[in-house]
Structure 1
Amino acid sequence: MEAKSAVDSSPMSIQEHQHSPPEASPKPYSKKSFVTTLMEVATLRTPAFKEDSYFISSLKSSEKKALQELKNKLVHSHGSDSECSMWGIHLLGGDEKADVILLKFLRARDFRVLDSFNMLEKCLAWRKEFGADGVVGEDLGFKELEGLVAYMQGNDKEGHPVCYNAYGVFRDKDMYERIFGDEEKLNKFLRWRVQVLERGINLLHFKPGGINSIIQVTDLKDMPKRELRVASNQILSLFQDNYPEMVARKIFINVPWYFTMLYSMFSPFLTQRTKSKFVISKEGHAAETLYKFIRPEDIPVQYGGLWRPSDLNNSPPKSASEFTVKGGEKVNIQIEGIEAGATITWDIVVGGWDLEYSAEFVPNAEGSYTIAVEKPRKISPSEEAIHNSFTSREAGKMVLSVDNTVSRRKKVAAYRYIVRKSAHV
């Protein structure tokens, strides 16, 4: 695997470095557990969701007819009303962006025109009453929840914006009372939650063949289900009624075992289209699941990625290289060609850690001693990505090691680095 070239905007010169493939030892056979097998039954056998292209040419004749009938009903109901719009798109404009929105409402009601029209009319009324078009610019006073409870962060590998949701912080009674203590506070929170979603919607193309939906990642760890029942039901109702077909995939991470069992039981009663959007990942496997869909530099550090809230001021993020640490393996990543006086900065993460990590600098000159930059240490599953730097006094290479020899579980991992030559060279 080759490391990507370092890219930096600083005045210091940047040097490309050769990277030796990770060295690995054989892995032992690992038998699947009952829960793992159950997870595969619940997810892998469901065909992946295929997002609509929204090209008129790809529609069935009956679907084209339904679209035209819906347009006719809108014209009859609104005439040339300029307020008949959503997300800055005039629904009576007759362009492809309007068609994308109308097709979303039709798809949500299986192309039943009357049902789609009624849903659309209710949504238009709700958006006007709620003031949805202006909510993005409001300061609702939830700074403490930004980047923690619900937030947009990065894109998946196909370009869809990703919305993360985590409600475990509300197990704290003081936090719960502060946010949901009365009806007024609850309504304000719901407005903030709509604001987060609207930010994601504003990133969509609303164009045939474009990015027309988002990805939702929901962390179920420590979620107080009973306390949040009212809020979660209202959020779900708002989103289902007013944001049809806006989610391409729903990824549930840190899912308790009993949720998995319930899903397996009720899965036969869900529509194939609904099931095709679900990805369910049991607790401790968040990174392994998210890496399938999202680049590690866009995944928050608490889920085994490299993104931190502080990265908001440093965009776009530097690309990372992914690798796998198999059960029973020790992997060495060698970054060669480091000159004397150069500074190397690196980030490395292993999903679920629970293994030994170390970093050392190996000089090229014979007789020079290897420098233990980070001594070998066991890293717990709860630890986040490592960020460190080292300035070399002589030419050599950096070796990052992750030792998974005492485990039988394969783990996903990623790293990135940048090397700056000394300004005095």
Structure 2
Amino acid sequence: MFRRKNHSNSEQGVEDQQQKVKELRASLGQLSGRSTQFCTDACLKRFLEARNWNVDKAKKMLEETLKWRLSFKPEEIRWNEVAKEGETGKVFKANFHDRHGRTVLILRPGMQNTAALDNQMKHLVYLIENAIFNLPEGQEQMVWLIDFTGWSITNNVPVKSARESINILQNHYPERLAAAILYNPPRLFETFWRIVKYFMDPKTFQKVKFVYPKNKDSAELMKSYFDVDNLPTEFGGTATLNYDHEEFSRLMAQDDVKAQVFGVGQTPPCPGGNGSYSAVEVAPEP
């Protein structure tokens, strides 16, 4: 009896979600162009999930995102437009996935090299779009690994930049982040964190993980997300990470061509599952 009841409840939950997706799609009215391509069922589910399956709230969120995409045009950004922002490797896609096959973005705020907020956000959005483009089939989320090496009060990311980054991620790419792992942040970061955490909604806040090298629980958490043989030594693994900007640029240019071929919201047949599209060398140490 209990098995039948639980199975029925599970089916009802799926049916409810499907019905919510239908309601949200109907409430949006007639879409056109890139909005039609963007608003897949999977996309609508992510926006509903972000708003606890409240159709009205999800609709408002999605409409704001469609307006933002129409203005910002993330799908039109090409690597050559933001390459200067990436010269120091402050944000880049790793050539390894986590244990669930999710794309990994490595962020190194201590490598900040520019001051123009608009260009910084354009660079970040490009890499988010590229990370999504390279997700393996059946996977919708990415992981952020944040390395605080070289971070100090003199070169930290301004609060305005952090706030805008959070806004873009949680409001325009809902449920795309699986985890943001802050690796070995210095004590000075605590003051910065007390400010920026208030810009996060509860769902995003819960995905932020603080990790410290000498902490046993932190080590276990990293092992739960990554194979240590793939993980760079900067994050407690045994691999060597080298950022080669020229190689990264070459591979991003290749992805730009693939993105034009497959279009918005689509992925290539073999979307980077073996790391072949990545632009960093990560090799096991001898």
| Deviation sequence 1:48-68 (CA, Å, 0-9, x none) | xxxxxxxx9684444333211
Q: Partners in 2 of 1:137 and 1:259 — Cα distance?
A: 31
1:215 maps to which residue?
143
Query: What's the CA shift for 1:258?
Result: 7.5
User: What is the TM-score normalised by the length of structure 2?
Assistant: 0.68
SS at match of 2:224: coil
1:293 maps to which residue?
225
Contact kept? 2:109, 2:157, Cα under 8 Å: no
1:234 maps to which residue?
164
Contact kept? 1:136, 1:199, Cα under 8 Å: no
Contact kept? 1:136, 1:198, Cα under 8 Å: no
2:100 maps to which residue?
158
Q: Does 1:83 align with 2:16?
A: no
- Name the one with the larger helix percent: 2
SS at match of 2:225: coil
2:52 to 106, 110, 124: 110
Query: What's the CA shift for 1:83?
Result: 2.8
Query: What's the CA shift for 1:131?
Result: 1.5
- What are the residue-to-residue correspondences of 1:273-292 with 2, within 5 Å? 274=204, 276-282=206-212, 289-292=221-224
Q: Does 1:247 align with 2:177?
A: yes
Q: Does 1:132 align with 2:60?
A: no
Residue type of the alignment partner of 2:142: I
2:256 maps to which residue?
none
Which residues of structure 2 form unaligned runs of 5+?
A: 1-9, 249-271, 276-282
Q: Does 1:193 align with 2:144?
A: no
Q: Classify 1:69/1:158 alpha carbon distance in 2 versus 1 (closer, same or farther; 3 Å).
A: same
User: What is the TM-score normalised by the length of structure 1?
Assistant: 0.47
Q: Classify 1:260/1:189 alpha carbon distance in 2 versus 1 (closer, same or farther; 3 Å).
A: closer
- Of structures 1 and 2, the larger Rg is shown by 1
1:64 maps to which residue?
18
Contact kept? 2:109, 2:148, Cα under 8 Å: yes
Query: What's the CA shift for 1:255?
Result: 2.8
| Deviation sequence 1:134-168 (CA, Å, 0-9, x none) | 2144432326535x311111200110111111111
- Name the one with the larger strand percent: 1
Contact kept? 1:256, 1:282, Cα under 8 Å: no
SS at match of 1:157: coil
1:14 maps to which residue?
none
Query: What's the CA shift for 1:219?
Result: 2.5
- What are the residue-to-residue correspondences of 1:263-278 with 2, within 5 Å? 271=202, 274=204, 276-278=206-208
Which residues of structure 1 form unaligned runs of 5+?
A: 1-55, 92-97, 318-346, 349-384, 388-425
Q: Partners in 2 of 1:77 and 1:218 — Cα distance?
A: 40
| Deviation sequence 1:22-78 (CA, Å, 0-9, x none) | xxxxxxxxxxxxxxxxxxxxxxxxxxxxxxxxxx9684444333211101112x243
- What are the residue-to-residue correspondences of 1:15-414 with 2, within 5 Å? 59-74=13-28, 76-78=29-31, 81-85=32-36, 89=37, 91=39, 98-142=40-84, 145=87, 148-153=89-94, 154-170=96-112, 175=113, 179-180=114-115, 185-204=116-135, 210-221=138-149, 222-224=151-153, 228-256=158-186, 271=202, 274=204, 276-282=206-212, 289-303=221-235, 304-309=237-242, 385=285, 387=286
Q: Partners in 1 of 2:220 and 2:90 — Cα distance?
A: 22
Query: What's the CA shift for 1:299?
Result: 2.1
Percentage of matched positions with identical amino acids: 19
| Deviation sequence 1:187-221 (CA, Å, 0-9, x none) | 1121111111111011235x6xx111111112245
2:253 maps to which residue?
none
Contact kept? 1:257, 1:282, Cα under 8 Å: no
Q: Classify 1:253/1:67 alpha carbon distance in 2 versus 1 (closer, same or farther; 3 Å).
A: same
Residue type of the alignment partner of 2:74: A
Residue type of the alignment partner of 2:53: F
Q: Partners in 1 of 2:18 and 2:166 — Cα distance?
A: 30
SS at match of 1:245: coil
RMSD in angstroms over aligned alpha carbons? 3.6
SS at match of 2:121: helix
Contact kept? 2:152, 2:188, Cα under 8 Å: no
